[in-house]
Amino acid sequence: MTSSTLRVLAAAAVFLAGAQPAWSADYPTKAIKIVVPYAAGGSTDTLARVVAEKLGKRLGQPVVVDNKPGASEQIAITSVTKAAPDGYTLLLSTLSGLAVNPGLYGSRIQYNPQKDLAPIVLAATVPSVVVVHPSVPAKNMKELGAYLKSKPGEVSYASAGAGTPSHLGMEYYKKQNGFDPVHVPYKGGAPALNEVMGGQVQLMMALVPEAMPMVKGGRLRALAVTTTKRLSTYPDLPTVSESGGKDFDMTFWYAFMAPAGTPPEIVTKLNHEIDAILAEKDVKAKLDEMNLDVVGGAPSKVTELIKTDSAKWKKVIDDANIKVD
């Protein structure tokens, strides 16, 4: 091998090494940013801030939250996929951004969650609940089914918007049971619930933290939760599956992610620290207040969940011919 060839190979090796972010045992040495795809004040933002405060103390560096709302999480996620994979830009995303958007928007989105992001930890899940206006003559899911069958095309259900979990969950339920309530989309969960409380729309599959205060106030009636098991906080509420929902599961979840290519040592360190934070008593108590169930565990949990839920909700989207602008 000639000396010129050796020099070329050496230069190539240096270039390739430089293309990969260097792993430093003293990571982090500067502030870390957690990008949140929603405005301040919501559940995703609150979860990020709870973890950020604790993580900063553990790592000895500031951890700040950067809210980038809009376009169904696409603005935030795309910005993270373009960030340096060095452990200083993280993402707290959800079922919507990581598993629903690819099937909903197709080639219009600028990221592939399974290729452009590296999972860190599955942080928490939050259930939904089927609620109806008190005038609806149904006390459980079987009675709701009978009511829907007796009024084909006459009953309407609210959602937080086209393609949101409250929309997909009801379409999933409709497909399983052959019912045909009419979809009425709103711009967010709050206005949708207001319309159900006002009786303009008869039912909704809403997030537990948003709907249960209205149920406790007598303005809505809760029929069933959408998880595979009953909730410890509402043990008297059956699951949709118990009520003939054929293994129905509509669980919203939150996961911490990093740009693809982030050194595995950094991912492991962040996984270990965030997992420990989620297990702390005061953190669990805070999340319990929000009706968020802590999960934690290995990054592989996120990988598997993105894969399975992407396929599941893509089928629902295709079967219901759901389109978004």
pLDDT tens for the chain, 325 residues: list them: 555 555 555 555 544 444 455 566 889 999 999 999 999 988 999 999 999 999 999 999 999 999 999 999 999 999 999 999 999 999 999 999 999 999 999 999 999 999 999 999 999 999 999 999 999 999 999 999 999 999 999 999 999 999 999 999 999 999 988 999 999 999 889 999 999 999 999 999 999 999 999 999 999 999 999 999 999 889 999 999 887 667 899 999 999 999 999 999 999 999 999 999 999 999 999 999 888 999 999 999 999 999 999 999 999 999 999 988 7
Q: Is residue 183 part of a domain?
A: yes
Identify whether residues 118 and 263 lie together within a single domain. yes
* CA-to-CA dists, residue 167 to 188, 285, 296, angstroms: 11, 30, 27
Identify whether residues 154 and 88 lie together within a single domain. no
Identify whether residues 71 and 141 lie together within a single domain. no
Identify whether residues 116 and 258 lie together within a single domain. yes
Identify whether residues 144 and 198 lie together within a single domain. yes
Residue for token pair 């993580």 = 55
Domain count, the chain: 2
Q: Is residue 172 part of a domain?
A: yes
Query: How far apart are the C-alpha atoms of 22 and 20, rounded to whole Å?
Result: 6
pTM: 0.88
Residue 79's domain comprises: 27-123+253-320
- What is the CATH number for 56? 3.40.190.150
Q: Is residue 241 part of a domain?
A: no
Q: Is residue 238 part of a domain?
A: no
Q: Is residue 36 part of a domain?
A: yes
Query: How far apart are the C-alpha atoms of 316 and 325, rounded to whole Å?
Result: 18
Q: At what angle do helices 281-289 and 264-279 cross, to 10 degrees?
A: 70
Identify whether residues 186 and 200 lie together within a single domain. yes
Residues with Cβ within 8 Å of residue 199, at least 6 apart in sequence = 133, 135
Q: Is residue 171 part of a domain?
A: yes
Position 101 scores a pLDDT of: 97
Identify whether residues 174 and 216 lie together within a single domain. yes
Position 17 scores a pLDDT of: 47
